[in-house]
């Protein structure tokens, strides 16, 4: 195979690293910038005021700044097993839950709401 034959091969960068936000090639197991294990992320959602990462054990919020242009560095981690009274709201699409006695609410874009709902139902965190 010559070098010219490989020129038409496309590399897509659709796998976003939840830790640093960099796009990675689809076949990468670790982030090319920060070396985060990308295989532990089950679901990643980019929303207006935050990004959400769901792993096998955690629900992680990466807060964005007021202008929604970059992350603030504030990270909140919630153990999925310790989340109580999980509910998905309508008509405003959001997820609500109680964690360590405090109510947490995250408004979501329509497509993120649907993805999160599917994940929560599939994994038994809520009933349909």
Q: Rounded to whole angstroms, how far apart are CA atoms 22 and 70?
A: 12
Q: Architecture of domain 3-122 in CATH? A: Roll (2.30)
Name the residue ranges covered by the structural domains of the chain. Answer: 3-122
Per-residue pLDDT of the chain (128 residues; tens, 9 = 90+): 455 555 556 778 888 899 888 899 988 999 999 999 999 999 999 998 999 999 999 999 999 998 988 889 899 999 999 999 999 988 899 999 999 999 999 999 999 999 999 999 999 999 88
Region of 72 please: left (phi>0), alpha (psi -120 to 50) or beta: alpha
Predicted TM-score (pTM) of this structure:
0.82
């Amino acid at each position: 195979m010559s070098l010219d034959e490989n020129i038409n091969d496309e590399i897509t960068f659709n796998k976003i690293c939840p830790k640093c936000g960099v796009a990675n090639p689809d076949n990468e197991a670790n982030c090319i910038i920060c070396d985060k294990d990308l295989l532990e992320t089950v679901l990643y959602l980019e929303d207006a005021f935050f990004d959400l990462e769901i792993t096998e054990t955690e629900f992680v919020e990466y807060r964005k700044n007021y202008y929604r242009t970059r992350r603030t560095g504030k990270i909140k981690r919630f153990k999925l097993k310790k989340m109580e009274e999980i509910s998905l709201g309508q008509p405003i699409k959001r997820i609500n839950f109680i964690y360590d006695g405090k109510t947490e609410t995250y408004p979501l874009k329509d497509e993120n709401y649907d993805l999160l709902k599917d994940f929560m139902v599939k994994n038994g965190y809520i009933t349909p």
